[in-house]
Amino acid sequence: MILTTLTSLKPSTLPLSTCEVTTRICSITNCPHKRQHAHTLSQKARWQQVHPISAEPNSDNTLGRGSSRRDGIQGALFIIKTVKNMANFKGHALPGSFFLLFGLWWSLKAPWRQCYLQSHGTRRKKLPPVFRKMDLIEGSLKVFFAFVGIMAEQFVPDGPHARLYNGGWVKLMNWQHSTMYLFYGISGVADILCATSQIVPQGLDRMALSLALFVEGFLFYYHVHSRPMLDTHVHSLLLVAVFGGAASTALEAFLRDNAVLEALRCSLAILQGSWFYQIGFVLYPLSGPQWEQEDHGNMMFITMCFCWHYAVALLITAINYAVVWRVVSRCANKPVSNMEMGLRKSAVDSSSQKALLQESDEE
C-alpha cells in the first residue's frame, strides 16, 4: 500500500520533504505519530508563507528540491522498514510450537489415564506415581517455555529490553506476548503444586490453565483493533480456539477425568498451534507474493481453511486416542508374562519334586 502511494505521486509533487511524505503515508497506515507529523508539516507551511522563495529553511530553491527528494525517499523507506519489523513469522511460530507440543502430548496422556481409570474402576482411588511424575514434568516444561518466551520477546535485538515507557510506550506487542507467557508460567506452577502437594485443591491446575487461555484470548481481542481486514480476521478466528479451550478446561476443573472434555481440550490446543503457524504464513509469507488484505475472497478461503485445520486436529486426536487405547488395552488384557509363568512353573515343579522325595523316604 505504501509503495503504491509513492509511485502514484505526480512528477510535480515528487520533490517532497520528509515530513510531507511521512504525513501522507501515516494518513494511510494509521501511524500513531500522525498528529506529530501533521504538526511538523504545519510548521513548514508557516515557514514557506514567510519565506516563499526557499523550499527548506536555510537552503536555496534548487538545493532544497534535491535534498527534499532524497529526504522524502529516505523517510518513506524508514517507515516501510518500521512497519515491516513490527512483527514477524518467528513471533507466531514460537507460540504455535508451544501449543502443538502440548496438544499432542495431551492427546497421548489423556487416553492413557482414561484406560487406567476404566480398568481399575473405584478400586484405586489414587493414580500410580507415574502420572504424578508426568504432571510434574509437564508443569516444569510450561514454566521453562514461558521463561524462554518472555526472554525472547523482551531481549531480542529490536525488543523492549524490559522498558515499558521511555517517552512513549515501548513495543507493546512484545509486552502483550510476555504477559501471555507469564500466565502460562503460572499454570505450570499450579501443575507442579498439584503434583507434589496433597493439600492443594483438586482442579487448581485446570482452573489455572483455563485462566491462562482466557488471558490469551483477552489480550488478542484488543490486539487486532485498527488493523487491515484480513489481519483482523485471522486473529479473530484464533479467538474461537482460545475461548473454546478456556471454557472446556474450566469445566474440567469441576468434571474431572471427563473423556469428552479432555479430547476437546486436546483438539483445540492442536488447532491453536497450527493456526498460529497459519497466521504467520498469511501475514509474513516466507516466499511468494503478499496476501491482499482487503480481498473478500481471501477472507472466505481463510475461514474455510480454519475449518480444515480443526478437522485435521480432530483426526490427529482420534488417531492418538485409538493408538494409545489399543496399546494399553492389549497390555492390560495380555496373559501373564513368560517370565512370571516360568517362575510359577518352576515353583510348582520344585514343590512336586519335594513331595516325591518325601514319599520315597517314607517308603
pLDDT tens track for 267-323? 999 999 999 999 999 999 888 888 998 999 999 999 999 999 999 999 999 999 999
- Domain count for the chain: 2
Residues 288 and 181: their CA atoms lie apart, in Å, by 31
Structure letter (DSSP) for residue 157: T
Residues 94 and 306: their CA atoms lie apart, in Å, by 19
Cβ 29 vs Cβ 227: under 8 Å: no
- What pLDDT band is residue 121 in, cutting at 50, 70 and 90? low
Domain that holds residue 72: 2-84
Q: Answer whether residue 342 is part of any domain.
A: no
* pLDDT score, position 7: 45
- Among the listed residues 245, 286, 294, the one whose alpha carbon sits nearest the alpha carbon of residue 265: 245
* pLDDT score, position 115: 86
- For the chain, what is the radius of gyration of the CA atoms? 32
Q: Answer whether residue 274 is part of any domain.
A: yes
| Average pLDDT, integer, range 176-181 | 91
Shared domain check, 130 and 15: no
* pLDDT score, position 309: 97
- Among 124-133, 142-151, 209-218, the minimum mean pLDDT is found in 124-133
For the chain, where are the E strands, in sequence order? none
DSSP string of 300-347, one letter each residue: HHHHHHHHHHHHHHHHHHHHHHHHHHHHHHHHHHPPPPHHHHHHHHHH
Residues 302 and 318: their CA atoms lie apart, in Å, by 24
Residues 311 and 305: their CA atoms lie apart, in Å, by 10
pLDDT in tens, 239-261: 999 999 999 999 999 998 899 99
Shared domain check, 106 and 76: no
Shared domain check, 96 and 64: no
- What rounded mean pLDDT belongs to the chain? 76
Shared domain check, 24 and 142: no
Shared domain check, 116 and 65: no
Adjacent-strand bridge partners of 312: none
pTM confidence score? 0.67
Residues 193 and 202: their CA atoms lie apart, in Å, by 11
| Average pLDDT, integer, range 208-229 | 90
Residue 85 identity (one-letter amino acid): N
Q: Inform me whether the pLDDT recorded for 174 exceeds 60.
A: yes
52, 84, 116: which is the final residue of a domain? 84
Q: Answer whether residue 352 is part of any domain.
A: no
169 SS3 class: strand
